[in-house]
Structure 1
Amino acid sequence: MRWRVPERFIRRCRGDARDGATVGPQQIYIIPTRYGLGFALLLLLIWIGSVNYANNLGFLLTFLLAGLGLVAMLHTWRNLLGLTLRPGRSDPVFKGQQARFEIQVGNPRGGERPGIRLQLAAHEAVAGDLAPRSEQRFTLSTRAERRGRFPIPRCVLSTRYPLGLLHAWCYLELDGEVLVYPAPGPHTPATSQPAYQLSQQGDKGVGADDFVGLRGYRPGDSPRQIAWKVHAREQGLQTKQFGGDRADQLWIDWGHYPGLETEARLSALCRAVLDAAQRQQAFGLRLPELELKPARGDSQRHAALAALALYGEPRP
Structure 2
Amino acid sequence: MINTFKQYWANKFIQWLTVRVPVASEFELSNRNIFIFPTRFGLVYILVLLILFLLGTNYQNNVIILLSYLMGSFFITVKLTAFFNLKGLVIRAERYAQGFQGQDIPVKITLDANSAKHGLTLGFKDQSTTQVKYAGKTSNSNPKDRQTEVTIYFHANKRGIISPGRVKILSEHAFGLFRVWSWLDFGHELVVYPHPKAIASKHLLEMPSVAEDGELAVSHRDGDEFKELASFKPGESMSRVAWKQLARGQGKLTKHYHQLTGQRRHLSLDMLPPVSIEQKLSYLCYLVLQYSQASYSFGLSLTQKHINADHGEQHKQQCLRALAEFIG
TM-score bracket, normalised by the shorter chain, equals 0.7 to 0.9
- Segments of structure 2 that go 5 or more residues without pairing to the other structure are 1-6, 138-142, 215-221, 233-238, 245-254
Among 125, 131, 137, the alignment partner of 2:136 is 131
Q: What is the RMSD computed on CA atoms of the aligned residues? A: 3.4
Return the structure number with greater helix share: 2
Tell me the CA shift for residue 89 of structure 1. 6.9
3-state SS, counterpart of residue 174 of structure 2 = coil
Instruction: Supply the distance in 1 between the matched residues of 2:180 and 2:261 (Cα, whole angstroms).
Output: 66
Give, as a single letter, the amino acid of the residue that structure 1 aligns with 2:149. Answer: R
Paired residues of 2:106 and 2:152 also in contact (CA < 8 A): yes
Q: CA separation of 1:233/1:281 partners in 2, compared to 1, >3 Å: closer, same or farther? A: farther
Query: Aligned letter for 1:286?
Result: S
Deviation, 1:224, is 7.9
Distance in 2, Cα, partners of 1:233 & 1:144: 39
What amino acid is the match of 2:225? Y
Q: Indicate the residue corresponding to 1:157 in structure 2.
A: 169
* Corresponding residue to 1:239 among 248, 257, 274: 257
Deviations 1:159-197 (A, max 9, x none): 112221111222222212221111223414455312222
2:210 is the alignment partner of 1:197: yes
TM-score where L is the length of structure 1: 0.76
1:70 aligns with 2:82: no
Counterpart among 216, 228, 239 of residue 224 in structure 2: 216
Distance 1:289 1:44 in 2: 68
* 1:175 lines up with 2:190 in the alignment: no
> Identity of paired residues, percent?
23
How far the C-alpha of 1:302 sits from its partner, in A, is 2.2
5 Å matches for 1:2-41?
6-10=10-14, 11-12=16-17, 13-16=21-24, 19-41=25-47
Question: Does the C-alpha gap of structure 1 residues 125 and 259 become closer, same or farther in structure 2, counting only changes over 3 Å?
Answer: closer
1:227-266 matches, within 5 Å, as 230=240, 232=242, 239-241=257-259, 247-257=262-272, 259-266=274-281
Supply the distance in 2 between the matched residues of 1:152 and 1:140 (Cα, whole angstroms): 12
C-alpha distance in 2 between matches for 1:48 and 1:144: 53
Which aligned segments of 4 or more residues in structure 1 are displaced greater than 6 angstroms?
Answer: none
Residue aligned with 1:36, SS: helix
SS at match of 2:22: strand
Matching residue of 1:146: 158
Counterpart in the other structure of 2:108: 102
Matched residue count: 285
User: Cα–Cα, structure 1 residues 224 and 157, in superposed 2: closer, same or farther, change >3 Å?
Assistant: closer
Greater Cα offset, 7-16 or 135-144: 7-16
CA contact (8 A) 1:200 1:246 kept: no
8 Å CA contact retained: 2:128, 2:154: no
The yes-or-no answer on 1:121 pairing with 2:138 is no
Range with bigger deviation, 192-201 or 144-153 = 192-201
> Counterparts in 2 of 1:49-64, with a 5 A limit?
49-64=55-70
With the length of structure 2 as denominator, give the TM-score of the two structures. 0.73
